[in-house]
Amino acid sequence: MRKWLLCAALLLIASPASAMKMDILKGTTCSNTTPRTCLVDIFIQDSSSAVGAGLAGLTNASANLVCYVSRSDDGNAAGTQLSLSGGTRGTWTSGGFIQKDSTNMVGIYELGLPTTAVAVGSNYAVVVCSGATNMAPMVLEVQLVAYNPQDSASLGLTKVVSDTQFYLGTAAAPAPDNGTLAAGSATGGTLAATAGTNVASLFLGGLFYATGGTIPSPRWCTISAYTSGRVFTCARPWSVVPDGTTTYTILVNAPTPGGVILKNVGSQTYPIYMVLASDHISVATGKTVTVNVSKDGAAFGAITGTVAEVASGWYLVSLSQADTNCNACAYFATAAATDTRPFYFVTTP
Protein backbone atom coordinates (compact mmCIF):
# COMPACT_ATOMS: atom_id res chain seq x y z
CA MET A 1 0.00 0.00 0.00
CA ARG A 2 2.81 2.40 0.89
CA LYS A 3 4.55 1.64 -2.41
CA TRP A 4 1.34 2.42 -4.30
CA LEU A 5 0.88 5.74 -2.52
CA LEU A 6 4.53 6.66 -3.15
CA CYS A 7 4.19 5.89 -6.86
CA ALA A 8 1.00 7.97 -7.07
CA ALA A 9 2.68 10.91 -5.35
CA LEU A 10 5.67 10.73 -7.70
CA LEU A 11 3.35 10.69 -10.71
CA LEU A 12 1.51 13.76 -9.45
CA ILE A 13 4.76 15.64 -8.88
CA ALA A 14 6.25 14.67 -12.24
CA SER A 15 3.12 15.20 -14.33
CA PRO A 16 2.32 18.48 -16.09
CA ALA A 17 -0.28 20.86 -14.72
CA SER A 18 -3.85 19.98 -15.60
CA ALA A 19 -4.95 21.30 -18.97
CA MET A 20 -6.76 24.62 -18.82
CA LYS A 21 -9.80 25.11 -21.04
CA MET A 22 -11.69 28.09 -22.43
CA ASP A 23 -14.17 29.03 -25.20
CA ILE A 24 -13.48 31.65 -27.88
CA LEU A 25 -15.64 32.55 -30.88
CA LYS A 26 -13.98 31.09 -33.95
CA GLY A 27 -12.97 33.78 -36.43
CA THR A 28 -12.31 36.36 -33.70
CA THR A 29 -9.94 39.11 -34.77
CA CYS A 30 -7.58 39.39 -31.81
CA SER A 31 -6.97 42.95 -30.65
CA ASN A 32 -6.28 45.09 -27.62
CA THR A 33 -9.91 46.25 -27.57
CA THR A 34 -11.88 45.33 -24.43
CA PRO A 35 -12.61 42.55 -23.50
CA ARG A 36 -9.26 41.46 -25.05
CA THR A 37 -10.59 37.98 -25.77
CA CYS A 38 -7.23 36.65 -26.96
CA LEU A 39 -5.30 37.82 -23.89
CA VAL A 40 -5.35 34.71 -21.69
CA ASP A 41 -4.00 33.89 -18.26
CA ILE A 42 -2.06 30.61 -18.02
CA PHE A 43 -0.60 28.77 -15.04
CA ILE A 44 2.95 27.40 -15.27
CA GLN A 45 3.85 24.90 -12.58
CA ASP A 46 7.27 24.47 -10.99
CA SER A 47 8.25 20.86 -11.75
CA SER A 48 10.71 20.86 -8.85
CA SER A 49 8.05 21.69 -6.28
CA ALA A 50 6.68 18.88 -4.12
CA VAL A 51 3.44 20.80 -3.57
CA GLY A 52 2.62 21.88 -7.15
CA ALA A 53 3.67 25.49 -6.68
CA GLY A 54 3.81 27.92 -9.57
CA LEU A 55 7.06 28.84 -11.32
CA ALA A 56 8.11 32.48 -11.05
CA GLY A 57 10.48 34.63 -13.03
CA LEU A 58 9.90 33.51 -16.64
CA THR A 59 10.08 35.97 -19.50
CA ASN A 60 9.77 35.61 -23.25
CA ALA A 61 13.57 35.44 -23.34
CA SER A 62 13.90 32.61 -20.79
CA ALA A 63 16.27 29.91 -22.06
CA ASN A 64 14.56 27.14 -24.05
CA LEU A 65 11.02 28.50 -23.40
CA VAL A 66 8.82 27.72 -26.41
CA CYS A 67 5.07 27.69 -27.13
CA TYR A 68 3.37 25.82 -29.95
CA VAL A 69 -0.18 25.82 -31.32
CA SER A 70 -1.99 22.89 -32.89
CA ARG A 71 -5.38 23.00 -34.70
CA SER A 72 -7.60 20.36 -36.26
CA ASP A 73 -7.07 21.85 -39.72
CA ASP A 74 -3.26 21.55 -39.54
CA GLY A 75 -3.41 18.36 -41.57
CA ASN A 76 -0.21 16.32 -41.66
CA ALA A 77 1.83 19.09 -40.07
CA ALA A 78 3.59 19.69 -36.79
CA GLY A 79 2.54 22.37 -34.34
CA THR A 80 3.18 26.00 -35.21
CA GLN A 81 5.63 27.82 -32.96
CA LEU A 82 4.45 31.09 -31.46
CA SER A 83 6.80 34.01 -31.72
CA LEU A 84 7.01 35.18 -28.11
CA SER A 85 7.66 38.81 -27.26
CA GLY A 86 7.84 40.87 -24.10
CA GLY A 87 4.32 41.76 -23.02
CA THR A 88 2.69 44.50 -20.98
CA ARG A 89 0.23 43.44 -18.32
CA GLY A 90 -3.36 43.98 -19.40
CA THR A 91 -2.35 44.62 -23.01
CA TRP A 92 -2.79 42.19 -25.89
CA THR A 93 -0.08 41.71 -28.45
CA SER A 94 0.35 38.61 -30.58
CA GLY A 95 2.73 36.32 -28.69
CA GLY A 96 3.04 38.76 -25.78
CA PHE A 97 4.25 36.95 -22.63
CA ILE A 98 4.58 38.46 -19.17
CA GLN A 99 4.43 37.40 -15.52
CA LYS A 100 1.25 38.58 -13.80
CA ASP A 101 2.30 38.86 -10.14
CA SER A 102 5.44 37.21 -8.77
CA THR A 103 4.30 37.66 -5.16
CA ASN A 104 0.60 37.01 -4.96
CA MET A 105 -0.06 34.95 -8.10
CA VAL A 106 3.10 32.94 -8.56
CA GLY A 107 3.01 30.96 -11.80
CA ILE A 108 0.34 33.05 -13.56
CA TYR A 109 1.40 34.57 -16.89
CA GLU A 110 -0.43 36.53 -19.55
CA LEU A 111 -0.15 35.16 -23.10
CA GLY A 112 -1.41 36.89 -26.23
CA LEU A 113 -2.88 34.38 -28.66
CA PRO A 114 -2.43 35.22 -32.35
CA THR A 115 -5.47 35.66 -34.59
CA THR A 116 -4.36 32.65 -36.64
CA ALA A 117 -4.84 30.42 -33.60
CA VAL A 118 -8.57 31.20 -33.39
CA ALA A 119 -9.33 31.52 -37.10
CA VAL A 120 -12.29 29.82 -38.78
CA GLY A 121 -11.54 26.30 -40.00
CA SER A 122 -10.99 24.44 -36.75
CA ASN A 123 -13.12 23.53 -33.75
CA TYR A 124 -10.23 23.75 -31.31
CA ALA A 125 -6.71 25.02 -30.76
CA VAL A 126 -4.23 23.50 -28.32
CA VAL A 127 -1.39 25.63 -26.93
CA VAL A 128 1.57 23.95 -25.27
CA CYS A 129 4.39 25.87 -23.57
CA SER A 130 7.48 24.09 -22.21
CA GLY A 131 11.28 23.93 -22.11
CA ALA A 132 12.34 26.41 -19.45
CA THR A 133 14.26 25.24 -16.39
CA ASN A 134 11.99 23.65 -13.74
CA MET A 135 8.96 24.26 -15.95
CA ALA A 136 6.21 21.66 -16.13
CA PRO A 137 4.57 21.65 -19.58
CA MET A 138 1.56 24.02 -19.75
CA VAL A 139 -1.42 22.89 -21.85
CA LEU A 140 -4.25 25.26 -22.83
CA GLU A 141 -7.22 23.87 -24.75
CA VAL A 142 -9.24 26.51 -26.60
CA GLN A 143 -12.65 25.38 -27.85
CA LEU A 144 -13.40 27.44 -30.96
CA VAL A 145 -17.17 27.84 -30.83
CA ALA A 146 -19.82 29.14 -33.24
CA TYR A 147 -21.43 31.34 -30.58
CA ASN A 148 -20.00 34.44 -28.92
CA PRO A 149 -19.54 34.00 -25.15
CA GLN A 150 -19.09 37.80 -24.88
CA ASP A 151 -22.53 38.61 -26.41
CA SER A 152 -24.80 39.10 -23.41
CA ALA A 153 -27.93 39.57 -25.56
CA SER A 154 -28.10 36.45 -27.74
CA LEU A 155 -24.61 34.82 -27.68
CA GLY A 156 -24.29 35.87 -31.32
CA LEU A 157 -26.81 33.22 -32.41
CA THR A 158 -28.76 34.38 -35.47
CA LYS A 159 -31.80 32.23 -34.62
CA VAL A 160 -32.16 33.74 -31.17
CA VAL A 161 -34.00 37.05 -30.88
CA SER A 162 -31.56 39.53 -29.35
CA ASP A 163 -34.41 40.90 -27.26
CA THR A 164 -35.52 37.52 -25.97
CA GLN A 165 -35.51 38.91 -22.44
CA PHE A 166 -38.47 41.09 -23.48
CA TYR A 167 -40.61 37.99 -23.52
CA LEU A 168 -39.15 36.68 -20.27
CA GLY A 169 -40.09 39.85 -18.43
CA THR A 170 -36.49 40.73 -17.52
CA ALA A 171 -35.97 43.77 -19.72
CA ALA A 172 -37.83 46.67 -21.24
CA ALA A 173 -40.49 45.58 -23.71
CA PRO A 174 -41.27 47.69 -26.79
CA ALA A 175 -44.06 50.20 -26.43
CA PRO A 176 -47.36 49.57 -28.23
CA ASP A 177 -47.37 51.00 -31.76
CA ASN A 178 -50.17 52.80 -33.61
CA GLY A 179 -50.38 54.19 -37.12
CA THR A 180 -51.48 53.66 -40.72
CA LEU A 181 -49.98 50.84 -42.77
CA ALA A 182 -47.50 51.84 -45.44
CA ALA A 183 -48.69 48.80 -47.39
CA GLY A 184 -50.53 45.53 -46.94
CA SER A 185 -49.84 42.06 -48.29
CA ALA A 186 -51.52 38.67 -48.36
CA THR A 187 -49.48 37.54 -45.38
CA GLY A 188 -48.91 40.73 -43.39
CA GLY A 189 -47.90 44.27 -44.21
CA THR A 190 -45.47 47.14 -43.67
CA LEU A 191 -45.90 49.39 -40.65
CA ALA A 192 -45.67 53.16 -40.65
CA ALA A 193 -42.18 54.60 -40.15
CA THR A 194 -42.59 55.24 -36.43
CA ALA A 195 -39.34 56.12 -34.70
CA GLY A 196 -37.67 53.14 -33.03
CA THR A 197 -39.66 50.46 -34.84
CA ASN A 198 -36.94 49.55 -37.36
CA VAL A 199 -35.53 46.81 -35.13
CA ALA A 200 -35.67 43.21 -36.33
CA SER A 201 -37.92 40.96 -34.22
CA LEU A 202 -39.14 43.96 -32.17
CA PHE A 203 -42.83 43.03 -32.38
CA LEU A 204 -42.35 39.28 -32.69
CA GLY A 205 -45.22 37.64 -30.84
CA GLY A 206 -47.20 40.89 -30.66
CA LEU A 207 -50.82 41.29 -31.74
CA PHE A 208 -51.77 43.42 -34.76
CA TYR A 209 -55.31 44.82 -34.60
CA ALA A 210 -56.90 46.85 -37.41
CA THR A 211 -58.76 49.89 -36.07
CA GLY A 212 -59.96 51.59 -39.28
CA GLY A 213 -59.62 52.08 -43.02
CA THR A 214 -59.68 48.84 -44.97
CA ILE A 215 -60.40 46.23 -42.29
CA PRO A 216 -58.68 42.90 -43.03
CA SER A 217 -60.14 39.55 -42.17
CA PRO A 218 -59.40 38.32 -39.65
CA ARG A 219 -59.11 41.64 -37.86
CA TRP A 220 -56.55 40.26 -35.38
CA CYS A 221 -53.13 38.93 -36.36
CA THR A 222 -50.38 37.33 -34.27
CA ILE A 223 -47.03 38.58 -35.63
CA SER A 224 -44.80 35.58 -36.41
CA ALA A 225 -41.93 37.51 -38.05
CA TYR A 226 -40.75 41.12 -38.07
CA THR A 227 -37.88 42.74 -40.02
CA SER A 228 -35.89 45.92 -39.57
CA GLY A 229 -37.74 47.21 -42.64
CA ARG A 230 -40.92 47.19 -40.50
CA VAL A 231 -42.38 44.30 -42.51
CA PHE A 232 -44.47 41.94 -40.40
CA THR A 233 -45.77 38.47 -41.20
CA CYS A 234 -48.93 37.05 -39.70
CA ALA A 235 -49.20 33.57 -38.27
CA ARG A 236 -51.95 32.96 -40.83
CA PRO A 237 -52.73 34.81 -44.09
CA TRP A 238 -55.53 37.33 -44.51
CA SER A 239 -58.69 36.42 -46.37
CA VAL A 240 -59.30 40.15 -46.82
CA VAL A 241 -56.01 41.99 -47.32
CA PRO A 242 -55.26 45.33 -45.56
CA ASP A 243 -53.84 48.27 -47.52
CA GLY A 244 -52.33 51.71 -47.14
CA THR A 245 -55.54 53.05 -45.55
CA THR A 246 -55.60 50.48 -42.73
CA THR A 247 -55.02 51.99 -39.30
CA TYR A 248 -53.79 49.72 -36.55
CA THR A 249 -52.52 49.22 -33.05
CA ILE A 250 -49.97 46.63 -31.96
CA LEU A 251 -50.15 45.19 -28.47
CA VAL A 252 -46.81 43.85 -27.27
CA ASN A 253 -47.97 41.98 -24.18
CA ALA A 254 -49.65 38.69 -24.98
CA PRO A 255 -53.30 38.78 -23.95
CA THR A 256 -54.29 36.74 -20.92
CA PRO A 257 -57.01 34.19 -21.61
CA GLY A 258 -59.75 34.71 -19.08
CA GLY A 259 -61.52 31.44 -19.77
CA VAL A 260 -65.29 31.31 -20.24
CA ILE A 261 -67.87 33.74 -18.90
CA LEU A 262 -71.63 34.01 -19.33
CA LYS A 263 -72.81 36.00 -22.33
CA ASN A 264 -74.86 39.15 -21.71
CA VAL A 265 -74.72 38.74 -17.93
CA GLY A 266 -73.53 41.53 -15.65
CA SER A 267 -71.60 41.60 -12.34
CA GLN A 268 -68.93 39.15 -13.53
CA THR A 269 -65.47 40.05 -12.22
CA TYR A 270 -61.91 39.46 -13.42
CA PRO A 271 -58.62 40.37 -11.66
CA ILE A 272 -55.83 42.05 -13.62
CA TYR A 273 -52.23 42.79 -12.66
CA MET A 274 -50.71 46.14 -13.69
CA VAL A 275 -46.99 46.99 -13.85
CA LEU A 276 -45.11 50.22 -14.51
CA ALA A 277 -44.01 50.99 -18.06
CA SER A 278 -40.65 52.29 -16.77
CA ASP A 279 -39.27 48.81 -16.13
CA HIS A 280 -42.20 46.44 -16.92
CA ILE A 281 -41.74 44.74 -13.56
CA SER A 282 -42.57 47.12 -10.71
CA VAL A 283 -46.18 46.96 -9.51
CA ALA A 284 -48.47 49.87 -10.43
CA THR A 285 -50.45 51.07 -7.43
CA GLY A 286 -52.87 53.96 -6.99
CA LYS A 287 -53.78 54.05 -10.68
CA THR A 288 -57.02 54.98 -12.39
CA VAL A 289 -57.44 52.03 -14.72
CA THR A 290 -59.54 52.24 -17.88
CA VAL A 291 -60.73 49.09 -19.64
CA ASN A 292 -61.84 48.92 -23.28
CA VAL A 293 -63.68 46.07 -25.01
CA SER A 294 -63.93 44.83 -28.58
CA LYS A 295 -67.03 42.69 -29.16
CA ASP A 296 -66.65 40.03 -31.85
CA GLY A 297 -63.99 42.04 -33.69
CA ALA A 298 -65.72 45.42 -33.57
CA ALA A 299 -63.92 48.62 -32.66
CA PHE A 300 -62.80 49.06 -29.07
CA GLY A 301 -64.83 51.17 -26.71
CA ALA A 302 -64.85 51.84 -22.97
CA ILE A 303 -66.64 49.32 -20.78
CA THR A 304 -69.63 50.49 -18.75
CA GLY A 305 -68.54 48.41 -15.77
CA THR A 306 -66.08 49.46 -13.08
CA VAL A 307 -62.49 48.89 -12.01
CA ALA A 308 -61.41 48.92 -8.37
CA GLU A 309 -57.92 48.64 -6.91
CA VAL A 310 -57.31 45.65 -4.66
CA ALA A 311 -53.63 45.85 -3.58
CA SER A 312 -50.04 45.23 -4.74
CA GLY A 313 -50.75 45.98 -8.40
CA TRP A 314 -53.98 43.98 -8.57
CA TYR A 315 -57.24 45.54 -9.78
CA LEU A 316 -60.70 43.98 -10.05
CA VAL A 317 -62.69 44.54 -13.24
CA SER A 318 -66.44 44.25 -12.74
CA LEU A 319 -68.12 43.80 -16.12
CA SER A 320 -71.60 45.07 -16.86
CA GLN A 321 -74.19 43.13 -18.85
CA ALA A 322 -73.35 45.15 -21.97
CA ASP A 323 -69.63 44.46 -21.54
CA THR A 324 -70.23 40.71 -21.98
CA ASN A 325 -72.71 40.85 -24.86
CA CYS A 326 -70.32 39.18 -27.32
CA ASN A 327 -69.15 35.71 -28.31
CA ALA A 328 -65.49 36.63 -28.34
CA CYS A 329 -64.77 39.52 -26.00
CA ALA A 330 -61.33 41.17 -26.17
CA TYR A 331 -60.33 43.71 -23.53
CA PHE A 332 -57.34 45.84 -22.69
CA ALA A 333 -56.65 47.82 -19.53
CA THR A 334 -54.59 51.02 -19.47
CA ALA A 335 -53.50 53.57 -16.92
CA ALA A 336 -50.98 56.41 -16.77
CA ALA A 337 -47.35 55.21 -16.89
CA THR A 338 -48.28 51.50 -17.01
CA ASP A 339 -48.03 48.71 -19.53
CA THR A 340 -51.19 47.87 -21.45
CA ARG A 341 -52.75 44.69 -20.06
CA PRO A 342 -54.85 42.79 -22.64
CA PHE A 343 -57.16 39.88 -21.78
CA TYR A 344 -60.08 38.11 -23.42
CA PHE A 345 -63.04 35.77 -22.84
CA VAL A 346 -65.10 33.36 -24.85
CA THR A 347 -68.70 33.54 -23.67
CA THR A 348 -71.29 30.82 -23.18
CA PRO A 349 -75.08 31.31 -23.10
For residue range 211-226, what is the model confidence (pLDDT) as tens digits? 889 999 878 787 878 8
pLDDT, greater one: 94 or 7: 94
> Using 50, 70 and 90 to split pLDDT, how confident is the model at 9?
very low
> Using 50, 70 and 90 to split pLDDT, how confident is the model at 291?
very high
Residue 17's pLDDT is what? 47
Q: Are strands 138-145 and 20-25 parallel, antiparallel or unpaired?
A: parallel
Supply the pTM of this predicted model: 0.49
> Using 50, 70 and 90 to split pLDDT, how confident is the model at 112?
very high
Q: Report the C-alpha gap between 333 and 121 in whole angstroms.
A: 54
What is the length of the chain?
349
Residue 175's pLDDT is what? 60
pLDDT over 70 percentage in the chain: 85
Q: Are strands 66-71 and 39-43 parallel, antiparallel or unpaired?
A: unpaired
Backbone angles phi, psi at 103, to 5 degrees: -105, -50
3-state secondary structure of 323: helix
Average pLDDT over residues 148-157: 73
Residue 18 has pLDDT above 60, yes or no: no
Give the CA angle between residues 51, 55, 57 to the nearest 5°: 150
Contact 312, 285 (CB under 8 A): yes
Residue 256: which of 326, 177, 317, 183 has the closest Cα?
Answer: 317
> Using 50, 70 and 90 to split pLDDT, how confident is the model at 161?
very low
DSSP state of 242: -
Find the distance separating the first CA and the last CA of the chain, reported in whole Å: 85
Residue 164's pLDDT is what? 40
Which of 76-80, 89-93, 278-282 shows the lowest per-residue confidence on average (mean pLDDT)? Answer: 278-282
Residue 54's pLDDT is what? 95
Residue 158: which of 148, 169, 170 has the closest Cα?
Answer: 148
pLDDT over 90 percentage in the chain: 51
Residue 130 has pLDDT above 90, yes or no: yes
3-state secondary structure of 12: helix
| DSSP string for 258-302 | EEEEETT---EEEEEE-BBTTTS-SB--S---EEEEEETTPPPEE
Q: Report the C-alpha gap between 61 and 63 in whole angstroms.
A: 6
**pLDDT tens-digit profile of 297-316?**
888 999 999 999 998 888 99
Residue 68's pLDDT is what? 97
Residue 339: which of 273, 248, 276, 254 has the closest Cα?
Answer: 276
Q: Is residue 175 exposed (0-12), middle (13-18) or buried (19+ Cβ within 10 Å)?
A: middle
pLDDT, greater one: 166 or 74: 74
**pLDDT tens-digit profile of 21-39?**
899 999 999 999 988 999 9
Q: Report the C-alpha gap between 293 and 299 in whole angstroms.
A: 8
Residue 155 has pLDDT above 90, yes or no: no
Residue 221's pLDDT is what? 80
Residue 217's pLDDT is what? 84
> Using 50, 70 and 90 to split pLDDT, how confident is the model at 166?
very low
Task: Give CA separation, 251 vs 164, 224, 277, 331, in Å.
Answer: 17, 14, 13, 11
Q: Which residues contact 134 (CB under 8 A, 6 or more apart)?
A: 46, 47, 48, 55
Q: Which runs of E-coded beta strand occur in 34-137?
A: 39-43, 66-71, 80-81, 85-86, 96-101, 105-112, 124-130
Residue 253's pLDDT is what? 57
**pLDDT tens-digit profile of 169-213?**
333 445 667 889 999 999 999 998 877 788 887 777 677 888 889
